[in-house]
Each structure stands twice: as C-alpha cells, then as structure tokens.
Amino acid sequence: MRTANTSSGFHRAAVSLMALALAACSSLPDIESHRPSPIVAGLGDTALAQIVARSTPEASQQLTGLRLLPNGVQAFDARIALARHAQRTLELQTYVLAPDTAGRQLLRELRDAAARGVRVRLLLDDLHSADAEALLAGLAAHDNVEVRLFNPLPVRGAAPLTRLALSPAQFEQLHRRMHNKLFIADGHVAISGGRNIGDEYFMQAHASNFVDMDLLTTGAALPMLSQVFERYWHSEHAVPLAQLRTLAADGGAARERFDVGLRGTPAPAGATPHDVLGYTPVSTQLDEGQLALLFADVQVLADAPEKVALPVTLDDSALGHGLRRLGEARSEVVIVSPYFIPGVRGMAMIREATRNNVRVTLLTNSMAATDEPMVHRAYSRYRQAMLDLGVNIHELSPGLSRKAGILGDFRSSDGRLHAKVAVADRRWVLMGSMNMDGRSALANTELGLLIDSPALALELRSLLERAHASSTYRLRQAPGGIEWISRDGQSEVVQREEPGADWSQRLKLSLMSMLISEELL
C-alpha cells in the first residue's frame, strides 16, 4: 500500500483539485539545524556481531549474507527478535508506522530496548504520522530515543489529504515522500524490502493482508545500508519531532501516556515452526546462535534524500539503476510489482526484450486485489500491448490467494500484492521498496538491493511458480479482448469480464482518468 488506505488515484486527483482551489497557506516553523548523532562504539562486540561471525563461512567474509522473509508473521518475528537482541543501536526508517497492534507492539520493543541502554533512532515519513504522533512523542520522551519526521508538512494533526490540500504552496515538494524501509540492529543485521509497519503487512488485519517480501541482510552490505540511514537521518529534510510538536516539559507524564497508549496490546504471536521456504524463525535461529544465510555480491541502490526537493531523471534514480541490470537480461525477466505502470519507456524496454527472445513474466494485482484502482486503470491500458508482445501476465486473485495459503495464512481476509521483486536470467535479483512506476522513479525516495545470486533467484522463482499456479489469474488473448484463467481443482475457470470491476467502477475510473496525469499515480 502506498499511503496507508488513503492514497488511491481518486484521492490524489481530489488533492490536486483542492490544492488549486484553496487560498489558505500554512508554513513550517523555523527549523533548527540538528547536531550529528554521536558514533556508538563497541558494535563489533555485541551478541549479534558474534552470531553473524559464526554464521559466515571463511570463504564468504567479503560477501553479503541474505535470507528471504516471504511470510508476514516470520517477518514481524524477525524485527521483534532483532529489537530484543540489540545491545547498542537500533535504526528504523519507514514510510508508515501505524498505531495499530503491530505498530504498538514494535514501539513497545523500542521502548524496552532503550531502557536497556540501546540507542534508538526512528525516522518516519511525515505524511501518515498524525495518527501515531502522540505515541511517537511518548517514545521520544524516553532516554536513548530520538524520533525524526521526514519532509514534514506544515499542517499538523490532520488526515493526509487535508494536510496536503492545506499546503498548496508546497504541494510539488510535499507530495514527494520517503518510501524507504530499513531496520538495522547493532550495525550488523538489517531488514529491508517492501513492508511498512502495520497489521496488514504482517498478517494481523481482518479485512485484507498484503503479500510482501523482505530481506534479512548481514555482512558486506551493512556498512552501505548504515550509510544510507545516516544520510537520511542527518538530512535537512529529517526534522526532530520536538521541533514540530510541542512536547510536554514533564517527560514522566509523556512516558506515562505512552504506557497508557500501549495498554492492552497483546504480546506478538509466535512464528510458525517453518516458513514457506522451510526456514525456522529468525528468533529461533538467533536464540540458537546461528543464522541460515545465502551469500552473494550485493549492490545497494538508494535515492538521495534530496530527491524530495530536486528533480531527477529515471536514469539517476535507484529504480533506474536496477532497470539497467534487468535490461541486460539474455533469457528471462520475472517482475513482481503491485503498482505497475510501464509507460512509454518501459514498453520500449519490454519490446526490446521480447525482440531479443527474452521471456518476460509479470505478476501484479488484479482489479479485485488492488488498493489503488486508478493505478490499475493506468496499467490496464498497457495489458493488450504486452500480451501482443508475448508477455506472460498474472494478476493476484484475493480469493485464490486466501484459499491456497501459499503466500501466507490469510484466515478470512483477502490477499493483496505489495512485494516489489524482479529476477533476471535466474541469477540477478532486484528487491526493495520501489514499484515499477513513475512515482518510484521520479517522486518518492526508494531503497533496494541488486543481488547476484542464482540460489536466491531459485528460491524466489520456486515461490512465484507456486503462486502462479494457485493464487493468480493468468491472462490470455481472446477474440475481442482478454480472458482471466484460474483453476478450481482440475478444472479451468475462464472469465471474460475483468474480476472485481463492475460497470459503475469502470465508469468512475474512466472519468477520473481524465483529471489526473499518469505521472502522478
């Protein structure tokens, strides 16, 4: 989800129109320059450092250790376990931190870590911070904790749409957001990928849950990931919460309100004994003192924080660097993107790939699964042309994914795709926070890893093949249009009308598409 239940194309169009109509103008308070955070010594002596050392063979000392986290419950277990094992530092960077069960559970772990003497730094994009701001202020009142908000909006304490609409003078800058996700413990273990912090990313929501993907990382990439965090943390766009919100002079009262806000939050659910790839939970492996890792050469791809203020081109972006590697594929490219808008340049790349006999496979959301109907509408304009070029298109079915259970235990909820992954030539893996669309390329800041690992590529392709067979619609050309093919046991089910799109929704999308540019989606 891009903007936590509030930023469909309909909403973005409404924001644009409201911003043009409003005469009101707000501004930020004068922002003081903040001091650099001091360096924390002794990271090499922590328990996590020792576990990483034991888990890394001599021959892999110059490589990066990697483990996929495809299941939401295991991905949350990994974060909780790292917070509990940390002894010196915890650095968190995220787009959304919701004040729901998962969010409060993680905030509690951060408080407890700080009480043990761990330095906690939390960097959160400001757009969706309002609902959690009281809890964030309470956390910031604890010793060893600092909270900063990235690219803050002048209007505080309101819904994202209202905040954007009441900031028309800054609209061009403020609709650019920090979309990165990064979690680093003691400078030796990191988690990056697509997941924000909220129930729906960790299979805790009731209505719908996201199919997502993270990577646990150790070794050679960690200094580069730490540098990314430091660059954002010390950016002029990262503003201490205390400069944006009047914090209570009585820290004890703020801490008490924080504790009251967490009251009734249950303990995190234990992870299942094995994930879909057969791995035991990260918490179990940390307790046993050994992580199961694959090792590979990794390149960290990160946009500069200044991207929210300065125009960039696709070639200069983190996504652009990753696409260059995909463009060099010789046999096969598999793309997983919940919000996929290829545009003119993307279609040219696809056309060139298929002309060179490269097999291209796409997995994205169906209309029934998407939380961004305007984005899906834009993507749908390219479907027929991609099928004409021989692209294999799969769209996630919310009902089939729930029934199959391959991508997680959805219980009674529907499945929605949120993972951002690409695999080229069964060797190169691109994974991170970036979607295959214009917003990731030109507006939002993103973070990803480009990995040279046939073993990791094999794990991903195996998982995707199981998902394609059980949890998706396969699209094919038909006289007069497109058919959506799924399986019910041994039988093939053919639908000639797009699943999840009734006539009224199609009409609404058609009208709204006249008001909003594809580049804003």
Q: How many beta carbons lie within 10 A of that of residue 319, not counting itself?
A: 28
Exposure of 41 in the CB half-sphere (CA atoms within 13 A): 0
Q: Mind telling me the catalytic residues?
A: 179, 181, 186, 418, 420, 425
42: three-class secondary structure by DSSP: coil
SS3 track for 301-339: EECCHHHHCCCCCHHHCHHHHHHHHHHCCCCEEEEECCC
Q: Which two tokens stand for residue 130?
A: 């309002």
Q: How far is residue 393's CA from residue 183's CA, in Å, rounded to a whole number?
A: 33
Q: Which two tokens stand for residue 322?
A: 């990753």
Q: How far is residue 239's CA from residue 251's CA, in Å, rounded to a whole number?
A: 20
Q: Is the separation of the CB atoms in 93 and 230 below 8 Å?
A: no
Q: Which residues pair with 217 in a beta bridge?
A: 66, 190
Q: Is the separation of the CB atoms in 90 and 112 below 8 Å?
A: no
Residue tagged 């360096």 (tokens):
39
Q: How far is residue 42's CA from residue 29's CA, in Å, rounded to a whole number?
A: 38
Separation of first and last alpha carbons in the chain: 13
Q: How far is residue 362's CA from residue 354's CA, in Å, rounded to a whole number?
A: 13
H helices of 433-496, where? 438, 454-471
H/E run at residue 388: helix 383-388
414: three-class secondary structure by DSSP: strand
